[in-house]
Structure 1
């Protein structure tokens, strides 16, 4: 299954968007139209790469925009870049989300005691390849970390790209601990402290910060897929989520290819990117 992207606006500006197309050239929603499964029998999932490893721009699926393109997160009118908290430079994995999942903000997780964060479920790809923003990859789920972000459950799945030469060696969270010593500890440390340079306290975690295993993580993915199915068929309240799609047959939000193209063409034309502010290269040193 092949996908491509079309950029609009200028990178590192408020107008920048990355729209997705399927193999037929129809504009689609990466949130709703890309199938969750790449191989259901083998529990191989699709994942949308929002952020390339070592970069700082906080790109994300725009859940409230028609067709849900990638855009850069904004806070108080300014583009968001994650800080370099020593020794971590930007994101330390390819970061993204699994399509057709939704952490329902009206559902209290029985394990964490907190409601969902209203986004598709996040992934941290630990494979060696540095992916490109907008890549759609096939991943094996290895485990999960339950971040509690301002009182909301925000699952972070540890995955590996199936194209990684070492992927066959990774089948559960303990394989990461064994084959990439220090990586899980660095991941925990990253999520705990990445907001500290913004003046916020360290993040909290469910399960005392323990990484849950593969089976637990896959069950979590499947439950968020059920929440998404209820939302996209209008069986639950989507709130401010934009459910426009071009390929979910039983969804009342499905639109024609022409309507989808009109959405994209109404946005700013693609242009040369704007330089990233020099302040993004600053390093922060925080006591543990």
Structure 2
């Protein structure tokens, strides 16, 4: 059963997400982004009525910093379940490149691009700092943040995706809650391997190819870097092409059935670890 903390967050977050637009992941056009979220709806086609557009939530989320984060741990080992996920508490949090670095290398906001609570998946603790997975390039990026800036809590859910078997398995501690075929990236645009986590949950309203729900993840395409302002972020979402499920056909995103993603949207909290395996 989902915990009360997550369900309370889900109740306030999903109505707001009805305004969020996703573009590109399910499209075949190579110039479109792998996964790009926009907060503005299409421009109105008439001026006969007065409407108020929803405010655009700017990413003010990541300060300017190095193009590629310098610390990578591709063999990171997580203890769990339960895993430790943590909310960012202050408006801005400093991210350090070592447990003892005197100054942060970048700062990140406590809200995501679309105004959701920013969370980190915690990998360990070094003194008064937590080692966390970062939702930045390159894949495997890890950093350290002050423990006093985080509100940690346990998460029992986990996701494993086998790209060779085209299969997703989702568990709650030792119980399997979903196992079904998925579509993954092609040979030219593969789904990256590694340990990642869920960073946002959106409900697309103009992109049927994303299905009814879509999670953004901390993973990034290893071959698609910058398209229409996006950065090749990998998503976990539904589809309007059910025949693609079970095949290697995407730009790197993980497509599940619409019934499957609807179930997951009701139970998986942000921060849930995602293990992508060959």
- Shorter-normalised TM range: under 0.3
TM-score by length of 1: 0.25
Higher strand share: 2
TM-score by length of 2: 0.26
Higher helix share: 1
